[in-house]
Amino acid sequence: MNTQVAIIGAGPSGLLLGQLLARSGIANVVIEQRSADYVLGRIRAGVLEQVTVDLLDQAGVGARMHAEGLPHDGVELCFNGRSHRIDLHGLTGKRVMVYGQTEVTRDLMDARGAAGLPTVYEADEVSVHGFDGTRPTVRWTKDGVPHELQCEFIAGCDGFHGVCRASVPAEAIALHEKVYPFGWLGVLSDVPPVNHELIYVNHERGFALCSQRSLTRSRYYVQCSLDDHAENWSDDAFWDELKRRLPAETAARLVTGPSIEKSIAPLRSFVAEPLRFGRLFLAGDAGHIVPPTGAKGLNLAASDVGYLWQGLTDYYRSGNPVGIDHYSTRALARIWKAERFSWSMTTLMHKFPDTGSFGQKMQMAELDYLFSSRAAMTALAENYVGLPMD
């Protein structure tokens, strides 16, 4: 088998890159270790920046998102039992789109299938070779049969635990990491959201988030300890804990129901530098992780893909290598700003085990300042809706 770009991983970054490259006439094959159903079953992100919406439109997969997605003009932050709204649209002229990662993935899979683009699911023992030379290869086995794909470039879109970053020699890559001392217990439930916009809560019992996927499907989270297990939490226990952390009038209108998914996600900040190694590029979670507090993970995956698509398109159209040469620098400049924002939102809104009374006072002072200063609210809003792709 031969292709121009081999894409490892059929998550949002791999599928979006494949779709954009195909529209630029660049041949690509996606190789994914899991089944399509497994990939579609993962419940993850749900808030899209305008940059991501634009890229999905450019990929030709935006129709259902515009029909079914929910544009949000603001978010609420609660502390000391009171809610304060950040008017995202009023402060920045931009809004965010609530549309689940599962739906984005489904739209991309459907488009890829309809275009007849090659995708290998359930590929075992995927490995990448020769990316420091001119003719890289990807090898895998499927149903016990070995396969090899020759290509010109490899896009490592295989997530945090993928094979691509792990194949880079240790001396060629720098890893920056911060692991937070808590996780998020998340519940997905087919109940109407408690509020028409997202609510972030700083509470003495810990952080809580009221998010949503549609007008009938809600996603709620409470901060939990890292050694906790989702099985320890009955649905009733989860709803009781969430209500304790919400302002009284919000808790009173919370509609509860059976969970359709319940899981604990650890929180981590992580960046690998650089993101290019010869003919191998890392994009999305393969290169970086943010704690979900700023809703940036999926959006950063999309902007990486946008830079890579632009670079590869220039290279294949005119032989101009500037875009791929600068991919890592351009993507990392945006990544570090999103890392900073996600870290600062996490620090502002969570209860840290070693915070002490001084740390709590600092959080309250910062939140107080935020809501007394249009400049501070604008800075938060500008980052929340997403910085431009420079």
Ligand X SMILES: Cc1cc2nc3c(=O)[nH]c(=O)nc-3n(C[C@H](O)[C@H](O)[C@H](O)COP(=O)(O)OP(=O)(O)OC[C@H]3O[C@@H](n4cnc5c(N)ncnc54)[C@H](O)[C@@H]3O)c2cc1C
Q: Which of residues 256-285 bind ligand X (CB under 6 A)?
A: 265, 284-285
- Min separation Cβ 255 and ligand X, Å: 21
Binding mask 161-190 for ligand X (x = CB under 6 A): xxx---------------------------
Q: Residue 143 CB, nearest distance to ligand X (Å)?
A: 16
CB 360, min distance to ligand X, A: 25
Residue placing its CB nearer to ligand X in the complex, 165 or 245? 165
Single out the residue of 20, 22, 26, 31 in contact with ligand X (rule: CB under 6 A): 31
Residue type, 306: G
Phi/psi for 201 (5° steps) reads -125, 125
Q: Where are the beta strands (DSSP E) in the chain?
A: 5-8, 28-31, 47-48, 70-72, 75-79, 82-86, 96-98, 119-120, 124-129, 137-142, 145-150, 153-156, 174-189, 199-202, 208-212, 218-224, 259-273, 276-277, 280-282, 288-289
Q: Does 112 bind ligand X (CB under 6 A)?
A: no
Quick one: which of 17, 26, 29, 45 contacts ligand X (CB under 6 A)? 45
Stretch near ligand X under the rule CB under 6 A, chosen from 29-37, 57-65, 196-204, 375-383: 29-37
Q: Which of 7, 10, 70, 280 binds ligand X (CB under 6 A)?
A: 10
Tell which one of 51, 198, 295, 349 touches ligand X (CB under 6 A). Answer: 295
> Considering the rule CB under 6 A, would residue 34 count as an interface residue with ligand X?
yes
Q: Three-state SS string across 315-359, please?
A: HHHHCCCHHHHCHHHHHHHHHHHHHHHHHHHHHHHCCCCCCHHHH
What type of residue is 258? Answer: P
Note whether 61 binds ligand X by CB under 6 A: no
Instruction: Tell whether residue 310 is a contact of ligand X (CB under 6 A).
Output: no
What backbone torsions phi and psi does residue 69 show, to the nearest 5 degrees?
Answer: -70, 160
Does 338 engage in binding with ligand X (CB under 6 A)? no
Sign of CA dihedral 343, 349, 354, 359: positive
CB under 6 A: which stretch of 154-162, 272-280, 343-351, 375-383 binds ligand X?
Answer: 154-162
Binding ligand X by CB under 6 A: which of 101, 223, 328, 383? 101
Q: What is the Cα–Cα distance from 153 to 277, expressed in whole angstroms?
A: 10
Site string for ligand X, 121-150 (x = CB under 6 A): --x--x------------------------
Smallest gap from Cβ 186 to ligand X, in A, equals 7
- Specify whether the CB–CB gap between 270 and 160 falls below 8 A: yes
Q: For residue 213, state whether it binds ligand X (rule: CB under 6 A).
A: no
197 or 285: CB nearest ligand X? 285
Q: Which of 301, 345, 349, 380 binds ligand X (CB under 6 A)?
A: 301
253-287 in b/e form (b: 16+ CB < 10 A) is: ebebeebeebebeebebbbbbbbbbebbbbbbbbb
For ligand X, give the closer residue by CB, 74 or 297: 297
**Residue 48 Cβ, how far from ligand X at the closest point, in Å?**
9
With binding defined as CB under 6 A, does residue 158 bind ligand X? yes
Q: Return the bridge partners of 149, or none.
A: 138
Question: Which residues form the catalytic set?
Answer: 72, 200, 292, 296, 384
Specify which residues 127 forms β-bridges with. 139
Q: How many CB atoms lie within 10 A of CB 87?
A: 14
Give the torsion through C-alpha atoms of 175, 178, 183, 189, to 10 deg.
Answer: -60
> Which tokens in the block code for residue 388?
């431009």
Which spans of this chain sit near ligand X (rule: CB under 6 A)? 8-14, 31-34, 39, 44-46, 101, 123, 126, 157-159, 161-163, 265, 284-285, 292, 295-298, 301
